[in-house]
Structure 1
């Protein structure tokens, strides 16, 4: 059996690793171990409960007002003890968090093979997003096998000197997750979401990026308040991130508007079903740029850069940045121009077909010599290179 250690620490990582864990656990060729760092404690636990994932190891590193320094050091040291005990054949990490980089570095020090799920995303600006861009570049340099979600991501890796035989284009596992979560007759756990009139133009908002703290985040919230003032038939729903830098600004600027609903962070199935019932999505997140288009929802990105240019080329995403006037202009057009909205809502999502986890499993079987033929690549992104 291939002894596989899957490690992650945040809610977005858990959402994207959950279908892969299930896929590997259902194959007798794999002996799966799950280690969580709990870089984000509460929001991580929500996902683990929903997908019935019981970690074999919980490093429980989260501290009040934790820094990048403490997260990195704690993961490296605590994950070393797990590696010594388990001696896995391969460690699988995901994406671009500090947990990702630190656990990959710890595995490298232990001379353990490392696989990178969602490899090859780049903005080519090391401070945007911060620290994610460097986390994923440094992780790539440490890894042995790379699961790129798109062809563009594969080309990014090739340009960095990664061997082609070590790269597998799989699609993104987050599209697999939607098969588990979105339901037509879904009842929300968050009571407020059950009382919303979804015949209105509901706009889901998420904003939490570290590089947006301060004035950029205030600009985003001021733009949302402006739009809520202008449109009586629009309702904003904002699950507010727990970080005090986010919550303080949201409370100050958005709290008392009748067409803006502020709620605590919601479970992944609540979020996916909220998006499915929304008119469009405003976000500075990465994953929602992949998820929402699968549900036919246009996305306005509240960042100056995106490591997901395929979505821009496919016209499922528009990058508005953090200038409040530009955000208002972009959203206003989607609210008033039916043709423009329809083009985005019906565009093809280049990020996956719901079978990324199976492709990753097959790639691992091939990599370890359990199958002779290299698995077929996901082709849905080929037009957006």
Structure 2
């Protein structure tokens, strides 16, 4: 019987790994253990509850105002005993978080094989996104299995010298999650508030955007609100106190911008499905929104998901106020451009990535 451990620690990782956990637990001749680090706490727990996943191990590392140093050392120190106790044949990690990097490092020290889900995404700018680009590249160096969501991600890995026979194009497990969460009969008080408007869903939290870039993002949105009475904004605001401070200082008491607490995954996906357009500096939303036919303006200067740009589902608008303002305004006023983005084909998969990964790992491909 194969012994596989799955390690993750943040909300985005959980959304993308829970469908894979469910798939693997439904298979024969495999033992699955789940270890969460608690890099995010409240937001992680919300996703675990939604997918009914109970971890076997919880490192519970989260501290107030935690630094990358503290996250890394705390995970590394606690992972050793768990890995030695479990003796897994393989550890699966996801994407580009500090949990991902540190868990992979711990496995490398103990010579445990690593499977990297959502492998091969690149900006090739080591500081954007920070520290995620470094984390993702570092995990690729030590991984034994590379589960690439797209052909482009596979080609990135091949150019870097990774063995082609260890790279598998599977699609993105985040698309699998939408099959579980989207509901036709969904209702929410925020949707009632936004009814009849062109509702913009905003997420903004990246480390490199905190400060002047985030102020410029928020100023552009405020200008749009002031000039377009038919527009409302829902912003599930990140728990980072610096993000909250900037948002409140720029938006003030603007009635048509709702700053709300982070949403559970089912709520977020269903509000996303009903948005007019999406503004985000997140990664996963760049994949989820196109699957739901929603145009996405990416509030970053680079993206490790260029497939969406090429397909026309995403537009990279950076963090300069004027450029963001003009880009939103165009989508609000130019119906042809808006419809073109809505109808662009989603390059991130068909909702069966978890099945493909399970087949590969268990020899049923």
On whether the aligned pair clears a TM of 0.5, the verdict is yes
Deviation at 1:187, TM superposition (A): 3.0
CA distance in 2, matches of 1:70, 1:130: 16
**What's the CA shift string for 1:277-298, capped at 9, x where partnerless?**
1101000000000000010000
Q: Under a length normalisation based on structure 2, what TM-score does the superposition of the two structures give?
A: 0.99
Deviation at 1:200, TM superposition (A): 1.3
Say whether 1:262 aligns with 2:259. yes
Alignment of 1:85-96 (within 5 A): 85-96=85-96
Q: Which position in structure 1 is the counterpart of 2:295?
A: 298
CA distance in 2, matches of 1:245, 1:139: 29
CA distance in 1, matches of 2:35, 2:252: 38
Deviation at 1:365, TM superposition (A): 1.7
Say whether 1:240 aligns with 2:247. no
> Does structure 2 retain, via aligned residues, the 8 Å contact 1:255–1:262?
no
Q: Which position in structure 1 is the counterpart of 2:78?
A: 78
Q: Which position in structure 2 is the counterpart of 1:35?
A: 35
Q: Which position in structure 1 is the counterpart of 2:55?
A: 55
Q: Which position in structure 2 is the counterpart of 1:381?
A: none
Deviation at 1:363, TM superposition (A): 1.2
Deviation at 1:194, TM superposition (A): 4.4
Would you say how many aligned residue pairs link Structure 1 and Structure 2? 365
Out of 187, 195, 198, the position equivalent to 1:198 is 195
Q: Which position in structure 1 is the counterpart of 2:26?
A: 26
CA distance in 1, matches of 2:112, 2:143: 10
CA distance in 1, matches of 2:179, 2:112: 33
CA distance in 2, matches of 1:198, 1:8: 36
SS at match of 2:27: coil
> Does structure 2 retain, via aligned residues, the 8 Å contact 1:206–1:240?
yes
> Does structure 1 retain, via aligned residues, the 8 Å contact 2:218–2:251?
yes
Say whether 1:138 aligns with 2:138. yes
Q: Which position in structure 2 is the counterpart of 1:382?
A: none
SS at match of 2:72: helix
Q: Under a length normalisation based on structure 1, what TM-score does the superposition of the two structures give?
A: 0.94
Q: Which position in structure 2 is the counterpart of 1:380?
A: none
Q: Which position in structure 1 is the counterpart of 2:152?
A: 152
**What's the CA shift string for 1:112-168, capped at 9, x where partnerless?**
110000000000100000000000000110111000000000001111111000000
SS at match of 1:225: helix
Say whether 1:310 aligns with 2:311. no
Deviation at 1:198, TM superposition (A): 3.0
CA distance in 1, matches of 2:24, 2:329: 45
> Does structure 1 retain, via aligned residues, the 8 Å contact 2:236–2:261?
yes
Give RMSD over aligned pairs.
0.8
Out of 312, 327, 340, the position equivalent to 1:330 is 327
SS at match of 1:344: helix
SS at match of 1:128: coil
Deviation at 1:253, TM superposition (A): 1.0
Q: Which runs of 5+ in 1 are unaligned?
A: 376-385
**What's the CA shift string for 1:303-356, capped at 9, x where partnerless?**
000000000000000000000100000110000000000000001000010000
Out of 308, 320, 323, the position equivalent to 2:317 is 320
